[in-house]
Amino acid sequence: MGFELVDLEQWPRADQFRFFRTYQKPHYAVTSRLDVTHVIGRKADGISPYRACLYAIGAGIHAVPELCMRFRGDQVVRHDGVELSMTVPTKAGSFNYAYVPHQPDFDAFDARAAALITAAAEGGALDANAGARDDLAYLSCMPWLDYTSINNALPGPDDCIPRVSWGKFVDQGGRWDMAMTLEVHHALVDGQQVGAYFAAVQTALDQV
């Protein structure tokens, strides 16, 4: 996957980018509830709700160009696509990381994700990104909790990789929902883009 340099002279958010790049705490997290009733119904067809959520998150990220942007010093690049990096429990009782490329076709994505997650679960060396890549989004599922808010450990104000978390599926009397959190860098992403992300995720959840 490639990327292009964003022309800051033409980018409408250039002033906001320069402003929030000066912040020591430029990240913010938004939690919203999403309807997963359709996803629960697809379990009867053999669909994994977990991988359905991965797919929907990938669809949401790729629907919003700013979520594929990363800054490198005073420059901004826009990736053609980013990989989803999630924690995977290993058979030894620890965890590893999997890296799953997003694909618009759900069946193709699901098959690839299942294979990559299974391989990561076998263990081996912890395949953590030490900063060499920024064409990623970091994902973590917390199926034990129906939480109301969450944030992540971040190395500092120069980290601009989005984080997505999601929680327990909750039965609301025949309708199922869950909490999902998107944490972003304000130099790249405003509330309008966060709203567009959640709308795209919901659309994908309803269509898998």
What is the pLDDT at residue 122? 85
Distance of CA 92 to the CA centre of its chain: 26
Residue 208: what pLDDT?
Answer: 95
CA distance 140 to 173: 27
- DSSP assignment string, 24-91: SS-EEEEEEEEE-HHHHHGGGGT--HHHHHHHHHHHHHHT-GGGGEEEETTEEEEES--EEEEEEE-T
Contact 34, 205 (CB under 8 A): yes
- pLDDT at position 36 is 98
Burial 163-191 (b: 16+ CB within 10 A, else e): bbbbbebeeeeeebbbbbbbbbbbbbbee
Whether the pLDDT of residue 144 is over 90: the answer is: yes
Are 75 and 81 a contacting pair, CB within 8 Å?
A: no
Q: What is the mean pLDDT of the chain?
A: 95
* 149 pLDDT more than 80: yes
Domains, the chain, ordered by start: 3-205 (3.30.559.10)
Q: pLDDT of 73-111, one tens digit each?
A: 999 999 999 999 998 988 888 888 999 999 999 999 999
Position 112 scores a pLDDT of: 97
Burial of 102 (0-12, 13-18, 19+ CB in 10 A): buried
* Mean pLDDT of the 11-40 span: 97
pLDDT at 91: 81
- Mean pLDDT, range 41-54, rounded to an integer: 96
pLDDT in tens, 125-135: 677 887 789 99
User: pLDDT value at position 93?
Assistant: 81
Interval 166-181: pLDDT, tens: 999 999 999 999 999 9
pLDDT for the residue numbered 143: 94
* CA 64 vs CA 4, 81, 98, 149: distances in Å: 15, 11, 23, 22
66 — pLDDT class (breaks 50, 70, 90): very high
102 token code pair: 């997003």
**Distance of alpha carbon 134 from alpha carbon 183, whole angstroms:** 15
Q: Which residue from 132, 120, 139, 146 is spatially nearest to 182, judged by alpha carbons?
A: 139
pLDDT at 90: 86
